[in-house]
Amino acid sequence: MNDLFYVYGMDVQGIDLLSKGEVFEQSGVAGYNILWVRPEQVEQALLSQPYVREARVTMGLPNRVRVHLVERQPQLAWVVGDDIYWIDNDGVVMIPRGEPRLLPALEDPEGALMVMEGQLNPVAITAVLEMHELLPTVYAFQYSASLGLQFRLPSGTQVYLGGDEGLADKVALLAALQEELVLRDTQPELIDLRYKGGAYYR
């Protein structure tokens, strides 16, 4: 059959973090006859790349393949020991690439938030992003199985949040407590908000 029908390149739209060459290689269509290529199979191959959230493939004769991608966007940095990964809203783990980004960082020394290979607990991710929205000056968060979510205020005070329930209420309680502590001219080392209905500090 005429070489005119064999795929040696593709039109790729919607990429920023990925390159056209990476997408072409991931697609698995290089050198294939266009009549043998199935768009749904190419889409599934592309979706196996962590950075791809959505993929749409269309084809045309004699050998045209068009790909439109929606890339996953990193929302926070997951820190495990000396390793740093980017995480999106769904908890998908990605290797950082491109320009450095200022993202909220979640330190998880035990790797306790991973629920399956390449996937973090999305509830915990949502909690961190919600906390960063409520307290935009706080970028560094920590997680442990025993204490849950925690962070340090700009003043140096460590705050224990515990689980991910009632975060807005905990932040409101923290703000009220901080106002009271200012009036008392007290700077605690620790504020513990893990228990419903109250706060402990020392």
Q: What is the pLDDT of residue 1?
A: 52
Q: Which residues pair with 191 in a beta bridge?
A: 159, 201
Q: DSSP class of residue 103?
A: -
Q: What is the pLDDT of residue 38?
A: 97
User: What is the side-by-side order of every strand in the sheet holding 83-87?
Assistant: 93-94, 83-87, 76-80, 105-107, 140-144, 148-152, 158-162, 190-192, 200-201
Q: Is the pTM of this model over 0.75?
A: yes
Q: What percent of the chain has pLDDT over 90?
A: 66
What's the Rg (C-alpha) of the chain? 23
Burial of residue 125 (CB within 10 Å: 0-12, 13-18, 19+) is buried
Task: Delineate the domains of the chain, giving CATH numbers in brackets.
Answer: 3-71 (3.10.20.310), 76-201 (3.40.50)
Q: Report pLDDT digits (tens) over 8-66.
A: 999 999 999 999 999 999 999 999 999 999 999 999 999 999 999 999 999 999 999 99
**pLDDT under 70: residue ranges of the chain:** 1-2
Q: Which of 90, 166, 79 is nearest to 122 (CA)?
A: 90
How many other C-beta atoms lie within 10 A of the C-beta of residue 164?
17
